[in-house]
Amino acid sequence: MSLFSASRSGPFEPVSAHLPSMPGRDAPTQAFLRAHALWPLLALATLSVACLGLGGDFWLADRWYALQGGHWAWQDAFVTERLIHRFGRDASTAAWLGVAAFWIFARLRPSLAAWRRPLAYLLLATLISVGLVSGLKSLTNMDCPWDLSRYGGANAYFGLFDTRPAGLDRGVCFPAGHASAGYAWVALYFFFAWVQPRLRWLGLAIGLSLGAVFGVSQQLRGAHFFSHDVWTLAIAWFVALALYLTMAWRRAPASSPAVLPVLRSAGR
């Protein structure tokens, strides 16, 4: 089946233009919330305890650091700094602009009216995710590994809730900003669930893969701990989920047929 299908309203329409049925049409099913909210939240809590509370961040960063001979040899390497950091950031921006261009085109073509709201969702979900991560970085006041004396820097380590000494420069490394340019695209999971359910796992794989590549690259440069990426992924996921429930699910009229039963059964 093609991503586009013919319809009476025009030649191009999402295969699934409606949402699954729910009790009362005013709330998601328990199975959906378990699969998409509860389990991710528990995973975030578990990884946070392991990384921030039990020293998992240091365990992994120690090994990245030792692998490079006791210094951040790949901090300015072509692959990590120019190809993945700079080009990857620009490629993500270009992809967002491409989606924006398609949305504008859909606004001008009545035959593409059904694509307008899903595309607007994708634009907003990715933009809000990146913006939220960027804003939180300026508030959390945590250092990058390369800033710490443990890894050749000048600062002692201060946790998220520790009080930093007066006069110490603010840390701007938590959550991971660059990884957000990749993880923001986990919104493709919900976008495809909206317009073509069978592609939703591909959308999720794209977002997770991009975020992982960006995140690991930054860890190898000494720019972030693993927990920084975990929280960036969590922010991107929950922003995408909340916006999906707001823009898609709650818009479904009472007469809409159930065309995404797979999402209702995802938690079984």
Per residue in 59-94, pLDDT tens? 999 999 999 999 999 999 999 999 999 999 999 999
Strands (E), the chain: 4-7, 10-14
**Do 165 and 154 meet the contact criterion of CB atoms below 8 Å apart?**
no
**pLDDT higher than threshold 70 for residue 19:** no
CA distance 236 to 194: 18
The letter for the amino acid at 10 is: G
Q: How many residues does the chain have?
A: 268
For the cut 90, the answer to whether the pLDDT of residue 200 exceeds it is yes
Whole-prediction pTM? 0.85
| Mean pLDDT across the chain | 86
102: pLDDT confidence band, cut at 50, 70 and 90? very high
Say if residue 264's pLDDT is above 60: no
Say if CB 240 and CB 208 are below 8 A apart: no
For residue 73 the two structure tokens come to: 């040899």
Residue-level pLDDT at 265: 41
As a 3-state breakdown, the chain gives helix, strand, coil percent values, each rounded to 5, of: 65, 5, 30
pLDDT value for 9:
41
| 30-34 mean pLDDT | 91
| N-terminal to C-terminal alpha carbon distance within the chain | 26
pLDDT value at position 266?
42
What pLDDT score was predicted for residue 167? 85
How does residue 29 score in pLDDT terms, banded at 50, 70 and 90? confident
Q: Residue 14: its pLDDT value, please?
A: 55
Phi (first) and psi of residue 14, to 5 degrees: -55, 140
